[in-house]
Every structure is written in structure tokens, then in C-alpha cells.
């Protein structure tokens, strides 16, 4: 063959490879409102930056006549490119080739980019759209999954791993995304479950739709499996690009600092009046967050799950920061099992990737009751405490209003190595709220008072006495547990100053194989 022909052959092979499973299957993918693997990668990466690898890999299976059906690249498109100029490694399962099902060779392709991402210290983004294990390959496919899972595990805490679910993701296949840092699902076409509706029906007789069993809405609000639910693939891809901008390339680096045009000493006057006089009245913590971060930009994570706590990324003076904040407008901001788990995982992500943490506190306590106790609130609360207490990144805490009992300790208090602990004048730091405290402290005296009016007056007086002592930040500040009481409208400036002072913070934990966080 002449050299010119050789080049022509290469070009032809590339054209064939790019067609995946063929025009018909591409059309069918589009008809479902889905993009193809290559289209997705193209949208995700900076224009022209994608370098594809292993385009000529084909499967090696000879069962069920499969040797007669081969597609260049097999069922996944892999390679690297950039997002806003920063390198990322990607793989996108190609549903047009055997339904994106995982073969031995496909697993090898995915493992190759994961290994490269680890070697180079760059994030991995996986786009999942697959019928699961390639049935014809039997245990070779299962072994391939296990190879991927092991890499997910070893990469955890070293490089950011993001999973987009843009189609089916069922059976054991769900465990690769589950081992990564963030899962994003689309409201249509995307589902994840260990066993599908048909198996559920045959085993438990439960009738349930695909959507209710494993759709984006369910996973982003009920199970908490997905951190993000988006309307469509385009929205999902733009969210991934945004998310990546808050993250470092790996655990040895810091997140990129973006030039900040929002004045660091910007006063937010509205904050002086945001907390209602009545301590039982809610307000929206997101208004405080939006008021203090750069340009009011906040990327909320797990927005629809355990909404009584808010977690997400923002910037202070251009520096990426993780925010954890109780939300008094949902269940009074109480800590329950789900909120504790959600916040704990976020704290650990930030700590693993050198992202400083700001904690905004307004928490009445842990949610009481048998439901929570049976669900293991003790362990889940301990998880959050563990995460905060172990974290060595800069930690700034601002107590806005309530901070009672165990929940005060959990929410990044001074003794859990909070670096700067500030409070607004509206803060109340105590073992418990006034009414609960008086019931305990004055129980015997109250029993002796028959007249209801006299009883009410007694309670009122005692509560007033208690509030005078504890419904403020000054008792804690007098002990040095609160470093300063700050004017609410000046919070942005004080937080930025605190983080600036913490830039060179170095704290290490005792040497160990690993901790034993209460899981």
C-alpha cells in the first residue's frame, strides 16, 4: 500500500470510528433527546481541545457470534482535553455500541484514562449511558467493572471525580459513580438503581416506575445519591464546567484564584436587620450567603436533599470556599440524619482538596424522636463532628443566631479546631433554649405552683433571666470560645480577613493508616 493510501485508510478508519454504532443508532439516540458520546465530550471541553485515545480498540469477545460485530473504539470514547484551559480526563460511554455496555476492552480504555489522570494529577469526568455489563462477555465484564471501582477508590481524595448520568446506569454499574465525588443526573432519560422495576416487582411485588425508583428527582431529593439534578444534558455540562472552576486539579494543589471585582470591604446593610426579633421566626440563610460571597455567586450542592442544611461552593476575594450553613427556614435548621450526612461528606470533600470552609450557624439542636434515633442520628451526628474535627483546612465559623448543645459543638466550634469563630450580636450560645432549660432547672419549683397565672409569670421571669445570661454571644466570648462579635453588615470583610490570615495554616493529624469515621 502506498503512503498516500495509508493516510487515506487512517482518515477512513477515523470517520468510521466516529460513527460509533452507525447512523441509525445515532438517530435513535437523538430521538430520545440524548446526545452521542462524542457530542457530549465536545460540549464539555474547550473548543478543539479534545484528544481522543484508543479509537481503534475493539472487543475481543467471540461468544454468541460477537466476533462478527465489532466497532472501532468499542462502547466508550476516552481521552483528555481542557475546561477553561485546565486539563481534565474524560470518558463517555457510547450507547450506540452495544448500548454502551461494558466489555473487557472498554473497561481497559476507562482504566487507562483514570491511570493517566492519577499520574498527571487531573480530574476525571465520566459520562454514563450504559446497559451495564456486556452480557456476552460474562465474568470478563464483571472483572472490568471491579478494575474501574478499584481505581475510583484509590483516586478518591487525590483527584476530583465527577459522574454525569445521561442514560441508564443500573446494577453493579451504579457503584462507579457512587464512589466518585459528585453525581449529576438529568431529569429525563437518566436513572440509577441496583435492580430495575421488573426485578423489584418479581421479588417484592412492588409496582414502581423507573422514574420513581431511580430517577433524578428521587435521587437528588430522597436518597441523596445525586448531588445535582438538571433539566437536560446541556445544563448538566455547563454545571460540570462551573463546578470544576471551584476545584483544584488534585489534592496537592489549591483551587484556581479568580480575579475579584467585588470589593472585599463591601458592607451589606440589609444583614443588620435580617434576623427577626422573634427567635422562633425563620429567615432565609441563602440571603446571608448571597450577601457576603463574591458577586452573590453560590454553587449549591445537594440543593434538594436535606434542605435544612445548605452546602456549596462560593468565592471570597476570588478564593474558592466551601460553605456549610444551617437553614432556619426549613425545619428550623435542625440537624437530622440526612443533614448530618450531607454536611459531613461535603466537609470531607473540601478538606481532601484544600478548600477552606466557612460555617454559618443557626441550629436549634438535633431532631428529637424515635424516628431519628432508630435511623442512627448518634452515628450520623458523630460523622459530622468527626469530619469537622479531623479537617485541617482553614475553618471560619460565624454564629448567626441559635447554637445550642451538641449541635453547637458539631457546627465547627472552637474546640473542634475552628480557627476563627465569630458571632453576630444576635447569637445565642447555650446548652439549650430558654423554655427547655427552665423546664429542667425549675421542674421542682413548677410542680409546687398550682395557679396557672402564677406559673406562667414564674416561667416568664425565669426565662428572661436565662435569656439575659445566654441569649447572646457574650458569655461564650468572655471565655474566648468566640473570637469576636462582629457587625452583621461587615461579615464579608471579616470573613475574607480571617481566611487571608489562615492562608499559611499548617496543621497535621497524628500518623495513622486511616481514621475510623463512624459510617
How many residues are listed for the chain in this entry? Answer: 519
Q: Is 406 a residue that touches ligand HXC (CB under 6 A)?
A: no
Q: Is 168 a residue that touches ligand HXC (CB under 6 A)?
A: yes
Q: Is 312 a residue that touches ligand HXC (CB under 6 A)?
A: no
CB 17 → ligand HXC: shortest distance, Å? Answer: 17
Among positions 29, 93, 101, 359, the unique one binding ligand HXC when judged by CB under 6 A: 101
CB 87 → ligand HXC: shortest distance, Å? Answer: 29
Contacts of 180 (CB under 8 A, 6+ apart): 124, 126, 152, 156, 161, 162, 163
Among positions 20, 73, 99, 177, the unique one binding ligand HXC when judged by CB under 6 A: 99
What is the longest distance spanned by two Cα atoms in the chain?
A: 108
Cα separation, 397 vs 448, whole angstroms: 43
**How are beta strands 161-165 and 124-128 bridged, if at all?**
parallel
Q: Is 73 a residue that touches ligand HXC (CB under 6 A)?
A: no
Q: Is 148 a residue that touches ligand HXC (CB under 6 A)?
A: no
CB 141 → ligand HXC: shortest distance, Å? Answer: 7
Q: Is 166 a residue that touches ligand HXC (CB under 6 A)?
A: no
Nearer to ligand HXC (CB atom), residue 140 or residue 354: 140
For ligand HXC, which stretch binds (CB under 6 A), given 134-142, 243-251, 296-304, 477-485? 134-142
Instruction: Identify the three-state secondary structure at position 282.
Output: coil
CB 120 → ligand HXC: shortest distance, Å? Answer: 27
Nearer to ligand HXC (CB atom), residue 73 or residue 99: 99
Q: Is 131 a residue that touches ligand HXC (CB under 6 A)?
A: yes
Q: Is 179 a residue that touches ligand HXC (CB under 6 A)?
A: no
Contacts of 348 (CB under 8 A, 6+ apart): 387, 390, 391
Q: Is 215 a residue that touches ligand HXC (CB under 6 A)?
A: no
Helix (H), strand (E), coil (C) string for 62-91: CHHHHHHCCCCCCCEEEEEEEECCEEEEEE
Nearer to ligand HXC (CB atom), residue 132 or residue 364: 132
Among positions 79, 132, 215, 473, the unique one binding ligand HXC when judged by CB under 6 A: 132
Say if residues 321 and 308 touch (Cβ distance below 8 Å).
no
Nearer to ligand HXC (CB atom), residue 99 or residue 248: 99
CB 210 → ligand HXC: shortest distance, Å? Answer: 9
Neighbouring CB atoms inside 10 A of 429's CB total 25
CA 221 to chain centre: 13
Number of residues engaging ligand HXC in binding (CB under 6 A): 16
Contacts by 271-277, CB closer than 8 A, 24 or more apart: 271/488, 271/489, 271/491, 272/487, 272/488, 272/489, 274/488, 275/400, 275/401, 275/424, 275/426, 275/488
CB 211 → ligand HXC: shortest distance, Å? Answer: 13
Cα separation, 289 vs 356, whole angstroms: 15
Q: Is 197 a residue that touches ligand HXC (CB under 6 A)?
A: no
Among positions 35, 145, 305, 493, the unique one binding ligand HXC when judged by CB under 6 A: 145
Instruction: Identify the three-state secondary structure at position 312.
Output: strand
Main-chain phi, psi angles of 325, to 5 degrees:
-145, 135
Nearer to ligand HXC (CB atom), residue 138 or residue 296: 138
CB 190 → ligand HXC: shortest distance, Å? Answer: 12
Among positions 79, 123, 160, 171, the unique one binding ligand HXC when judged by CB under 6 A: 171
Say if residues 30 and 23 touch (Cβ distance below 8 Å).
no
State the cell numbers at 233: 444534558
CB 35 → ligand HXC: shortest distance, Å? Answer: 15
Q: Is 170 a residue that touches ligand HXC (CB under 6 A)?
A: yes
Q: Is 172 a residue that touches ligand HXC (CB under 6 A)?
A: yes
Classify the C-alpha dihedral 481-484-489-494 as positive or negative.
negative
CB 300 → ligand HXC: shortest distance, Å? Answer: 31
Say if residues 81 and 88 touch (Cβ distance below 8 Å).
yes
State the cell numbers at 280: 422562633
CB 145 → ligand HXC: shortest distance, Å? Answer: 4
Q: Is 36 a residue that touches ligand HXC (CB under 6 A)?
A: no
Among positions 173, 382, 411, 416, the unique one binding ligand HXC when judged by CB under 6 A: 173
Residues at the interface with ligand HXC (CB under 6 A): 25, 98-99, 101, 131-135, 142, 145, 168, 170-173
Amino acid at each position: 500500500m502506498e503512503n498516500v493510501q495509508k493516510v487515506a485508510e487512517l482518515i477512513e478508519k477515523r470517520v468510521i470510528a466516529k460513527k460509533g454504532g452507525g447512523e441509525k443508532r445515532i438517530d435513535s439516540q437523538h430521538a430520545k433527546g440524548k446526545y452521542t458520546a462524542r457530542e457530549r465530550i465536545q460540549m464539555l471541553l474547550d473548543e478543539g481541545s479534545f484528544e481522543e485515545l484508543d479509537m481503534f480498540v475493539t472487543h475481543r469477545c467471540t461468544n454468541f457470534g460477537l466476533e462478527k460485530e465489532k466497532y472501532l473504539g468499542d462502547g466508550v470514547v476516552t481521552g483528555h482535553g481542557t475546561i477553561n484551559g485546565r486539563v481534565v480526563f474524560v470518558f463517555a460511554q457510547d450507547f450506540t455500541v452495544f448500548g454502551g455496555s461494558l466489555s473487557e476492552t472498554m473497561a481497559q480504555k476507562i482504566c487507562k484514562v483514570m491511570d493517566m489522570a492519577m499520574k498527571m494529577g487531573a480530574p476525571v469526568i465520566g459520562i454514563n449511558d450504559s446497559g451495564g455489563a456486556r452480557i456476552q462477555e460474562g465474568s470478563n465484564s464483571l472483572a472490568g467493572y471491579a478494575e474501574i471501582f478499584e481505581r475510583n477508590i484509590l483516586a478518591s481524595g487525590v483527584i476530583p471525580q465527577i459522574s454525569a448520568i445521561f442514560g441508564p446506569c443500573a446494577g453493579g454499574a451504579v457503584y462507579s459513580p457512587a464512589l466518585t465525588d459528585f453525581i449529576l443526573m438529568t431529569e429525563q432519560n437518566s436513572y440509577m438503581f441496583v435492580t430495575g422495576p421488573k426485578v423489584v416487582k418479581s421479588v417484592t411485588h412492588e409496582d414502581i416506575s423507573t422514574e420513581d425508583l431511580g430517577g433524578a428527582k428521587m435521587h437528588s431529593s430522597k436518597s441523596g445519591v445525586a448531588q445535582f439534578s438538571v433539566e437536560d444534558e446541556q445544563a448538566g455540562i455547563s454545571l460540570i464546567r462551573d463546578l470544576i472552576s471551584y476545584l483544584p486539579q488534585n489534592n496537592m494543589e489549591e483551587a484556581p484564584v479568580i480575579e475579584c471585582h467585588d470589593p472585599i470591604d463591601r458592607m451589606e446593610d440589609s444583614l443588620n436587620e435580617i434576623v427577626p426579633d422573634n427567635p422562633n421566626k425563620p429567615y432565609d440563610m441563602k440571603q446571608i450567603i448571597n450577601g457576603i460571597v463574591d458577586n452573590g455567586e453560590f454553587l449549591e450542592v445537594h440543593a434538594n436533599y436535606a434542605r435544612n442544611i445548605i452546602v456549596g461552593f462560593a468565592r471570597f476575594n476570588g478564593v474558592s470556599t466551601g460553605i456549610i450553613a444551617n437553614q432556619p427556614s426549613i425545619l428550623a435548621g435542625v440537624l437530622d440524619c440526612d443533614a448530618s450526612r450531607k454536611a459531613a461528606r461535603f466537609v470531607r470533600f473540601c478538606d481532601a482538596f484544600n478548600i477552606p470552609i466557612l460555617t454559618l450557624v443557626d441550629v436549634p439542636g438535633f431532631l428529637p424522636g424515635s424516628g431519628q434515633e432508630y435511623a442512627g442520628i448518634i452515628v450520623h451526628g458523630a460523622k459530622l463532628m468527626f469530619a469537622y474535627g479531623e479537617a485541617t483546612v482553614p475553618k471560619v465559623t460565624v454564629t448567626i443566631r441559635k447554637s445550642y448543645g451538641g449541635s453547637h459543638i458539631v457546627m465547627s466550634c472552637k474546640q473542634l479546631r475552628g480557627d476563627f469563630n465569630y458571632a453576630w450580636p444576635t447569637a445565642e450560645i447555650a446548652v439549650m433554649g430558654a423554655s427547655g432549660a427552665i423546664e429542667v432547672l425549675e421542674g421542682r419549683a413548677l410542680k409546687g405552683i398550682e395557679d396557672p397565672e402564677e406559673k406562667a409569670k414564674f416561667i416568664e421571669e425565669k426565662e428572661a433571666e436565662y435569656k439575659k445570661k445566654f441569649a447572646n454571644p457574650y458569655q461564650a466570648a468572655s471565655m474566648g470560645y468566640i473570637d469576636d462579635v462582629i457587625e452583621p453588615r461587615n461579615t464579608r470583610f471579616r470573613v475574607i480577613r480571617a481566611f487571608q490570615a489562615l492562608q499559611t495554616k499548617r496543621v497535621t493529624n497524628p500518623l495513622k493508616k486511616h481514621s475510623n469515621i463512624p459510617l
